[in-house]
């Protein structure tokens, strides 16, 4: 039969009675089958009958291959003949496992041992067959259990490491091999500490292992230690360890699970560093952030939120209704409540500046921006936003605004200084007329024949008119040069230009320049500070006068005109002088840059800052036919 076999038993002593041999065969536990040189069965004991399901009487004389399934059945006869011819043994004298077949066709694993009967001619062979189904089942079960245990070890996402009492590796799973970069074959039997522990820690690691085995120290949970990989890199491992005992309770080694926490610890450190940077950035920027679930969900405030509001972090975030009622300045509560309601119901966003009052009574200005979104479960509204302490910025803006106003006032005084001659002439004219008419009235009263009351009326009316004329100039001059806070109101630019004649024409007359005004009717109104817009216009008119005086051949005329443009209303001051050289044009609006011998270089710079503050623009362009046109535009009032 074609398979391994156990050594054949010794042949029975010569001359033993046939009945004694039959009794021996029938008493055997294993099946015993004797075949001749042609493979025919000559002996079939009772154990064989029980094993295969045949009676000896019906099986003796048949080919032994009837007890084999295909493909072994077809190959058997050729094997026997090959052995007889060549003597090459593939089964005989060699025990092996085979597959046998019962009478009912079922197959089973068997252990087969075959021997040649000594001295028989022609050759005869004896086989011993043992059913190993149970043994195979047990082995398969053990193999499956081993494979299952190995799969558990290999599937584990932590290192599993078993060491003997000397620290040598008795078992390591696939994950452990991946972590340290060695194969299982390379590691088994190796000293773990010598191979995988950094040299500086080896003595301490060995002492710790021995004290753990001896029971003098406990292995703490999540003990973290560095291991070395094959390429020399270090990895941080969090260990859990236990002692391994044999069936008698004796300690035979340790079993440890180790989780590679290198990246986790690195990420945690990066997160801590990032949070520290964020806290520092928020403290520098005075910007806190918050997240609130409304109506009843959790809330988060950053540390900077508490600092801005002057609250103790231990008390936790304040609910929105309490925040509005107790933290927000009383004058801003209704406005914040309205904006919150609008964000809930409509826009989903909040962008609002308001004041808060700290527990110590101090007030701060803050700017909150937030977005409102439904929570994942749809049960709440999530408000995510920032709170920015803008108190210092507001104070700085106020200081800048005050400085700008002071500078603007200085600019107005400088403009009046440049126009002083014309204004003085304008005021002197009515004063001279008043004096002349007053002297005439005195002479009329002192005349010998006296004077009728009706004759005195005309000088007195003229005195009154001239006084009003001088008073109007002085009133407008005082209003213009008065240092007052910026005040924005609805302005009709055409009316403003007409009113400006009183201040502009004295200077043009003194310099023999004609001032013309061309206004487009029904222009939209603008929102502006009228005094500041007059200051810009007077600066531009004064510059046009100077440019005209510097070009003697140019027409002595200045035109002020207004017109509607795409982005609002444009006011232009047009001169017919020689224009502006490119190198001068590049620096025109720089503070303290001037081409005038006694100029300050502030007029155009201040004018541009005023127009920008009004959301407009100031520029210049060549005048067709020669000269320069300075212009500014202002946006119209919404709906104008």
Six token digits for residue 299: 């809330």
Rounded Cα distance between 591 and 105, Å, is 114
> Per-residue pLDDT for 536 more than 90?
no
pLDDT surpasses 60 at 423 = no
CA distance 597 to 605: 18
pLDDT at position 484, please?
A: 54
CA gap 612, 110 in Å, rounded: 104
Give the pTM.
0.41
Percent of the chain with pLDDT over 90: 22
How far are the Cα atoms of 112, 259, 387, 600 from residue 483, in angstroms, in the given order?
123, 76, 36, 19
Cβ atoms of 382 and 505 within 8 Å: the answer is no
Average pLDDT, the chain: 80
Residue 620: both structure tokens together? 């210049």
pLDDT at 307 over 50: yes
Domains, in order of start, for the chain: 18-131 (3.30.450.20), 152-260 (3.30.450.20), 286-389 (3.30.450.20), 417-634 (3.30.565.10)
Checking if the pLDDT of 94 tops 50, the result is yes
Sheet of 381-389, strands arranged across: 299-301, 287-294, 381-389, 363-374, 349-357
Torsion over CA: 163, 168, 170, 176 (sign): positive
List the beta strands (DSSP E) in 119-216. Answer: 125-131, 159-164, 169-172
Say how many C-beta atoms besides its own lie within 10 A of residue 12's C-beta.
Answer: 14
Measured CA to CA, the distance from residue 465 to residue 351 in angstroms comes to: 57
Residue 241's pLDDT band, with cuts at 50, 70 and 90, is confident
Q: How many CB atoms lie within 10 A of CB 158?
A: 18
Spatial distance between the Cα atoms of 230 and 155, rounded to a whole number of angstroms: 22
Please provide the distance, in angstroms rounded to a whole number, between the alpha carbons at the two ends of the chain.
Answer: 114
Taking CA 31 as the corner, what is the angle to CA 27 and CA 35, rounded to the nearest 5 degrees?
115
CA atoms within 13 A on the CB side of 116: 17
Which residue carries 């301490």 as its tokens?
Answer: 204
- In terms of pLDDT, which residue wins out, 347 or 427? 347
| Structure-model confidence comparison of residues 520 and 404, the more confident one | 520
**Residue 87 confidence (pLDDT) above 70:** no
Closest CA to 238 of 164, 157, 301: 157
| β-pair partners for 563 | 570
Distances (CA, A) of 440 to 436, 447, 454: 6, 11, 14
pLDDT in the model for residue 592 = 54
């Amino acid at each position: 039969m074609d398979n391994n076999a156990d050594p054949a038993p010794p042949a029975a002593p010569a001359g033993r009675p046939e009945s004694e041999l039959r009794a021996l065969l029938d008493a055997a536990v294993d099946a015993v089958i004797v075949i001749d040189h042609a493979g025919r069965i000559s002996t079939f004991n009772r154990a064989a009958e029980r094993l295969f399901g045949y009676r000896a009487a019906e099986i003796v004389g048949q080919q032994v291959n009837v007890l084999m399934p295909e493909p072994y059945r077809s190959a058997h006869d050729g094997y026997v003949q090959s052995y007889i011819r060549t003597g090459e043994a593939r089964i005989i004298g060699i025990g092996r496992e085979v597959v046998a077949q019962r009478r009912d066709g079922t197959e089973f694993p068997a252990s087969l041992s075959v021997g040649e009967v000594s001295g028989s001619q022609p050759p005869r062979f004896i086989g011993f067959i043992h059913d190993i189904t149970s043994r195979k089942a047990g082995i398969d079960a053990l193999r499956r259990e081993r494979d299952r245990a190995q799969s558990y070890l290999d599937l584990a996402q932590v290192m599993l490491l078993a060491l003997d009492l000397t620290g040598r590796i008795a078992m390591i799973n696939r994950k452990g091999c991946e972590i340290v970069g060695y194969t299982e074959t390379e590691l088994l039997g190796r000293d773990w500490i010598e191979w995988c522990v950094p040299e500086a820690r080896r003595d301490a690691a060995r002492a710790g292992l021995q004290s753990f085995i001896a029971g003098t120290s406990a292995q703490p949970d999540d003990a973290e230690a560095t291991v070395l990989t094959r390429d020399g890199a270090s990895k941080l491992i969090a260990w859990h360890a236990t002692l391994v005992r044999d069936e008698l309770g004796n300690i035979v080694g340790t079993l440890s699970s180790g989780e590679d926490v290198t990246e986790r610890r690195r990420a945690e450190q990066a997160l801590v560093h990032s949070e520290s940077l964020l806290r520092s950035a928020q403290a520098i920027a005075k910007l806190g952030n918050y997240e609130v679930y409304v109506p009843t969900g959790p809330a988060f405030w950053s540390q900077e939120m508490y600092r801005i509001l002057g609250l103790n972090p231990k008390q936790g975030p304040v609910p929105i209704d309490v925040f509005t009622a107790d933290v927000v300045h009383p004058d801003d509560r209704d406005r914040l409540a309205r904006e919150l309601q609008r964000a809930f119901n409509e826009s989903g966003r909040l962008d609002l500046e308001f004041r808060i009052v700290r527990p110590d009574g101090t007030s701060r200005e803050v700017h909150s921006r937030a977005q409102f979104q439904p929570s994942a479960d749809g049960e709440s509204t999530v408000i995510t936003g920032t709170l920015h302490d803008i108190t210092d910025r507001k104070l700085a803006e106020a200081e800048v605004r005050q400085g700008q106003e002071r500078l603007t006032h200085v600019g107005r005084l400088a403009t009046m200084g440049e126009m002083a001659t014309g204004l003085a002439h304008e005021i002197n004219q009515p004063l001279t007329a008043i004096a002349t008419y007053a002297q005439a009235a005195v002479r009329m009263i002192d005349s010998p024949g006296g004077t009728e009351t009706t004759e005195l009326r005309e000088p007195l009316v003229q005195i009154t008119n001239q006084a009003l004329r001088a008073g109007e100039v002085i009133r407008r001059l005082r209003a213009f040069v008065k240092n007052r806070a910026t005040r924005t109101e609805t302005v009709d630019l055409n009316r403003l230009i007409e009113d400006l004649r009183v201040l502009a024409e004295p200077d043009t007359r003194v310099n023999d320049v004609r001032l013309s005004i061309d206004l487009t009717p029904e222009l939209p109104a603008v929102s502006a500070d009228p005094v500041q817009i007059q200051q810009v216009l007077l600066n531009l008119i004064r510059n046009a006068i100077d440019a005209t005086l510097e070009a003697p051949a140019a027409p002595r005329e200045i035109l002020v005109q207004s017109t509607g443009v795409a982005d609002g209303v444009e006011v232009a001051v047009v001169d017919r002088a020689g224009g502006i050289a490119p190198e001068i044009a590049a620096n025109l609006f720089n503070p303290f840059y001037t081409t005038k011998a006694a100029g300050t270089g502030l007029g155009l710079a201040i004018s541009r800052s005023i127009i920008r503050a009004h959301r407009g623009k100031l520029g210049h362009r060549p005048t067709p036919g020669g000269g320069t046109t300075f212009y500014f535009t202002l946006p119209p009032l919404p709906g104008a």
